[in-house]
């Protein structure tokens, strides 16, 4: 045998083998492969902002298991890596790391140096810098973060082709993102409009439906008296009482609404009431979204308090009376018709302060009825925000996603059926999300670090913006930045002046670029790339189940519009990592665990083992105990390899007659190969590991112990050769079965007796054994009976507190005839393994053993 170390160890093997794999190009994609020969993966590009956590290890291990299996199965695996480095997370990290904030009104400073890099000095106040300076700092920091992330993934051993690396802010990504958008625009799938928009007042940007989350927050119901008017507009003396949690929006009220079937309010439909405090006359209307069992059953429609207000405003064709600005404060000027003196009390206040003021005013006027009732209710937040979202009016860009088009919605639901979901029930999450959409996909953001929206607008003679016919660049000119580049037909000195032009100031939402990861990774329509037709549609999209509504769905939308098909044939979903209290691990909760220390303590393969043990799509508890098991597993692989190789080489001049015990073992291994193969082909890596590990421990604890005497030539050279051949055959197959799970330990063990990398070898096939059932025992049960006898002999010696080498002077085995026949077949190995001097057999109904020492 080759180079077998005296003391096998897992320590230090990761760096050595990672460097060797990179040097040898073990995972390089074969660009000459045909589409039929390729297995392509739409790898999730992680957000490189902030510290690494176990979520990065968890789900990317799952993808790597499938990639390694497919590679060993003969596929040319297209396995790229990307970095998602634009958007709000990067901007927030840059602000904290450099002590700056972006102000588009600031002038660019060449050779700008930030106040600090890293930990902020005590009492530091952020300074305002220009957008170009801010973007330069973004580029600087993401380059640092990307290297840290790359080092982690190399340590994890994921088998990506690093030559395929991309970033969502690099030139190729910007060009492809802008190209796709311009084609959406040309086909009418993208449009801009002034409309009510969910707005984060801290980040000062619009937020899409998929980025919102409900959080339980304290609130209170306030009963307000609206005053009924007669046909001539005079007060009747009667009131209509409504319950509201947002009395501060009273000045924005444009109507009252009740359900059309609510008999209490049917007489009021079409009449007019006057708002308390502000004296605005508003209609009473009917709409199906009104809830008779909520509050008093009649609600005020304000522009805007929640998404129902938006729906009512749009469908009932109501006027606009907005009072909340983008900064989260009440606008300074009262809307038309609103009592300016009463409004002045809340002008420029924060929303919370305005609520307190309005309640005081209502109390003083007698229009607040009864006691304020406290409640807890769900409130909309931006998933990264700290304050409730407001709805403000702004001009934004949208891509049609079925939220306002039933036919498109139905088509996108159908796209979900074009792919196989792993696990299958995740498809329902996709369908439920699509069917529950209430608006198109908002793709523009009022931020700084991202892909610019590639349009300009003409300014008329008064300097007003003409949004009706945006100026677009030629695709050959992409990427462009409208804030600095000049459209064809204009000169730079015409920017911002009447008769000139202005660039769109916004960038794309990060999902608008990440929704194009198949196109970006495969260099869609990039000259000379030689990739796209070989890899698209991709074979699998692996990702977390929590971003089905964002990343998965948005990618389907873009593929549907551009190619008329689903972007992949499989969607493989991973679950969350849970802490010991069964809560999701997240940075916001402060319960994340970083992986580097775990790699150092247990080894990479042990951490991968924990991740691979998780069922697809199932939330899994973080467990160092499981990692300890994984390290023991990897160590055992090294040790059993050394032990088996220690029996010596196979003598090719001898052709031994196989032992039925060996044949039974190989037949059992055949079944494991078959099941593991089917499981991995169906993306059930956990099942494949479970079955392989089960066999492995049985092989080490039972089979090797059973046949080692024969392998040491205790019963002759021909029998020894039969045992050695079977042991080495099994060891070869076991190592290949475990290669996707324990890539470092298997490569180490393989190198002791094989040439080349195990990760470029062929996946095993279930053709190892023949004649396994010749003894008339189904399912290779004969070997179970032999092992059971050996186990009872061992147990008897343990109970007698004697050495396992102590001779058994007499062993009586009783049982049915078929079982006794199996034990007779294994008698030679049992004699050596148990040091048994005399065997006796008695027929009986059940297996039993009498051991005499």
Say what percent of the chain tops pLDDT 90. 74
Average predicted confidence (pLDDT) for the chain? 92
Confidence of residue 582 (pLDDT cuts 50, 70, 90): confident
Q: What angle do CA 78, 79, 83 make, to 5 degrees?
A: 135
Residue 714 pLDDT > 90: no
pLDDT at 393: 84
Rounded mean pLDDT, 421-450: 92
Which SS3 state, helix, strand or coil, does residue 379 take?
A: strand
Confidence of residue 310 (pLDDT cuts 50, 70, 90): confident
Residue 779 pLDDT > 50: no
Phi/psi at 382 (5° precision): -70, 135
Q: Over the stretch 28-58, which tens digit does the pLDDT of each residue have?
A: 999 999 999 999 999 989 888 766 778 888 9
Rounded mean pLDDT, 667-672: 94
How far apart CA 352 and CA 749 sit, in angstroms, is: 66
How many other C-beta atoms lie within 10 A of the C-beta of residue 801?
A: 6
pLDDT at 589: 66
Task: Give yes or no for a contact between 69 and 763, defined as CB atoms under 8 angstroms apart.
Answer: yes
pLDDT at 202: 85
Task: Give yes or no for a contact between 219 and 376, defined as CB atoms under 8 angstroms apart.
Answer: yes
pLDDT at 775: 46
Residue 570 pLDDT > 80: yes
Say what percent of the chain tops pLDDT 70. 97
pLDDT at 579: 79
Residue 576 pLDDT > 70: yes
Residue 499 pLDDT > 50: yes
How far apart CA 143 and CA 137 sit, in angstroms, is: 10
Rounded mean pLDDT, 368-375: 92
* pTM for this entry: 0.84
pLDDT at 776: 47
pLDDT at 587: 64
Q: Over the stretch 127-150, which tens digit does the pLDDT of each residue have?
A: 999 888 988 998 899 888 899 889
Q: Over the stretch 781-809, which tens digit does the pLDDT of each residue have?
A: 889 999 999 999 999 999 999 999 999 99
- Element of type H or E holding 352: helix 351-365
Q: How many helices (H) and strands (E) does the chain have?
A: 25, 30
Kindly report which listed range (375-379, 570-574, 634-638, 790-794) carries the lowest average pLDDT score.
375-379
Residue 143, both tokens: 């380059």
Q: Over the stretch 267-301, which tens digit does the pLDDT of each residue have?
A: 999 999 999 999 999 999 999 999 999 999 999 99
How far apart CA 491 and CA 501 sit, in angstroms, is: 9
How far apart CA 305 and CA 249 sit, in angstroms, is: 7
Please give the distance of CA 684 from its chain centroid, rounded to a whole number. 17
Q: What angle do CA 804, 807, 811 make, to 5 degrees?
A: 105
Residue 845 pLDDT > 70: yes
Please give the distance of CA 209 from its chain centroid, rounded to a whole number. 18
Q: Over the stretch 584-623, which tens digit does the pLDDT of each residue have?
A: 776 666 667 788 899 999 999 999 999 999 999 999 989 9
What string of DSSP letters covers 21-55? HHHHTTT---TT--GGGEEEB-----B-SS---HH
How far apart CA 575 and CA 59 sit, in angstroms, is: 8
Rounded mean pLDDT, 645-660: 82
Residue 706 pLDDT > 90: yes
Residue 770 pLDDT > 70: no
Confidence of residue 25 (pLDDT cuts 50, 70, 90): very high
Q: Over the stretch 172-227, which tens digit does the pLDDT of each residue have?
A: 999 999 999 999 999 999 999 988 888 888 888 888 777 888 899 999 999 999 99
Phi/psi at 778 (5° precision): -70, 150
How many other C-beta atoms lie within 10 A of the C-beta of residue 172?
A: 18
Kindly report which listed range (169-183, 772-786, 833-847) carries the lowest average pLDDT score.
772-786
Confidence of residue 265 (pLDDT cuts 50, 70, 90): very high
């Amino acid at each position: 045998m080759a180079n077998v170390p005296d003391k096998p160890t897992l320590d230090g093997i990761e760096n050595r083998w990672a460097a060797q794999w990179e040097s040898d190009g073990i995972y390089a994609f074969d660009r000459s492969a045909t589409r039929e020969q390729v297995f392509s993966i739409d790898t999730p590009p992680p957000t490189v902002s902030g510290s690494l956590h176990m979520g990065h290890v968890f789900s990317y291990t799952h993808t790597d298991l499938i990639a390694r299996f497919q590679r060993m199965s003969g596929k040319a695996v297209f396995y790229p890596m990307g970095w998602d480095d634009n958007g709000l997370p990067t901007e927030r990290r840059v602000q904290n790391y450099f002590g700056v904030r972006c102000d588009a009104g600031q002038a660019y400073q060449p050779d700008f140096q930030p106040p600090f890099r890293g930990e902020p000095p005590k009492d530091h106040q952020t300074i305002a810098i220009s957008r170009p300076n801010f973007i330069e700092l973004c580029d600087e920091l993401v380059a640092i973060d990307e290297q840290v992330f790359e080092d982690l993934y190399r340590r994890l051993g994921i088998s990506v082709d690093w030559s395929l690396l991309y970033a969502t802010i690099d030139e190729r990504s910007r060009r492809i993102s802008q190209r796709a958008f311009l084609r959406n625009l040309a086909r009418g799938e993208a449009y801009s409009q002034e409309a009510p928009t969910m707005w984060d007042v801290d980040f000062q940007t619009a937020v899409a439906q998929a980025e919102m989350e409900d959080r339980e927050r304290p609130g209170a119901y306030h009963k307000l008296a609206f005053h009924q008017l007669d046909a001539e507009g005079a007060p009747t003396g009667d009131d209509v009482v409504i319950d509201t949690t947002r009395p501060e929006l009273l000045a924005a009220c444009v109507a009252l609404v009740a359900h059309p079937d609510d008999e209490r309010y049917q007489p009021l439909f079409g009449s007019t009431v006057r708002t308390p405090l502000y004296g605005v006359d508003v209609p009473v209307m009917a709409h199906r979204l009104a809830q008779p069992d909520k509050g008093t059953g009649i609600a005020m429609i304000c522009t805007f308090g929640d998404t129902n207000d938006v729906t009512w405003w749009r469908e009932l064709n109501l006027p606009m009376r907005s009072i909340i600005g983008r900064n989260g404060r009440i606008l300074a000027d009262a809307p038309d018709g609103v009592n300016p003196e009463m409004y002045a009390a809340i002008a420029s206040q924060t929303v919370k302060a305005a609520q307190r003021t309005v309640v005081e005013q209502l109390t003083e006027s007698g229009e607040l009825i009864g006691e304020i009732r406290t409640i807890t209710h769900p409130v909309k937040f931006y998933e990264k925000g700290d304050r409730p979202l407001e709805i403000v009016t702004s001009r934004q860009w949208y891509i049609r996603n079925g939220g306002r088009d039933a036919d498109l919605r139905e088509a996108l639901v159908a796209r979900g059926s074009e792919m196989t979901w792993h696990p299958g029930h995740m498809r329902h999450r996709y369908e439920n999300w699509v069917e529950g959409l209430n608006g198109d996909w908002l793709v523009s953001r009022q931020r700084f670090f991202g892909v610019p929206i590639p349009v300009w607008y003409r300014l008329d003679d008064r300097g007003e913006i003409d949004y009706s016919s945006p100026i677009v660049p030629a695709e050959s000119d992409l990427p462009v930045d409208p804030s600095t580049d000049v459209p064809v037909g204009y000169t730079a000195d015409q920017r911002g002046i009447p008769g000139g032009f202005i660039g769109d100031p916004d960038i794309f939402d990060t999902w608008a670029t990440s929704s194009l990861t198949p196109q970006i990774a495969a260099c869609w329509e990039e000259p000379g790339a030689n990739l796209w037709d070989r890899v698209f549609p991709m074979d699998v999209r692996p990702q977390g189940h929590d971003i089905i509504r964002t990343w998965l769905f948005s990618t389907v939308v873009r593929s549907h519009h551009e190619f008329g098909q689903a972007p992949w044939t499989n969607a493989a979903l991973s679950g969350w990592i849970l802490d010991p209290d069964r809560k999701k691990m997240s940075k916001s909760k402060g319960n994340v665990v970083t992986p580097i220390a775990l790699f150092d303590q247990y080894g990479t393969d042990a951490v991968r083992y924990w991740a691979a043990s998780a069922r697809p799509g199932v939330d899994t508890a973080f467990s160092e105990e499981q990692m300890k098991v994984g390290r023991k597993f990897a160590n055992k692989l090294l040790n059993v390899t050394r032990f088996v190789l220690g029996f010596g080489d196979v003598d090719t001049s001898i052709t031994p007659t196989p032992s039925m015990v060996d044949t039974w073992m190989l037949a059992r291994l055949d079944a494991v190969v078959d099941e593991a193969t089917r499981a991995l082909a169906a993306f059930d890596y956990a099942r494949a590991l479970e079955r392989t590990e089960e066999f492995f421990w049985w092989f080490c604890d039972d089979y090797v112990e059973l046949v080692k005497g024969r392998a040491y030539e205790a019963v002759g050279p021909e029998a020894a050769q039969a045992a050695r051949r079977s042991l080495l055959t099994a060891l070869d197959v076991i190592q290949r079965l475990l290669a996707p799970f324990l890539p470092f330990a298997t490569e180490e063990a393989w190198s002791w007796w094989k040439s080349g990398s195990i990760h470029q070898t062929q996946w095993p096939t279930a053709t190892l054994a023949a004649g396994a059932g010749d003894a008339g025992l189904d399912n290779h049960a004969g070997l179970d009976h032999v092992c059971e006898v050996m186990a009872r002999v061992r147990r008897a010696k343990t109970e007698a507190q004697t050495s396992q080498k102590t001779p058994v002077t007499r062993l009586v085995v009783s049982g049915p005839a078929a079982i006794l026949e199996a034990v007779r077949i294994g008698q030679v190995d049992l004699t050596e393994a148990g040091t048994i001097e005399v065997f006796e057999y008695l027929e009986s109904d059940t297996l039993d053993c009498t051991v005499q020492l």
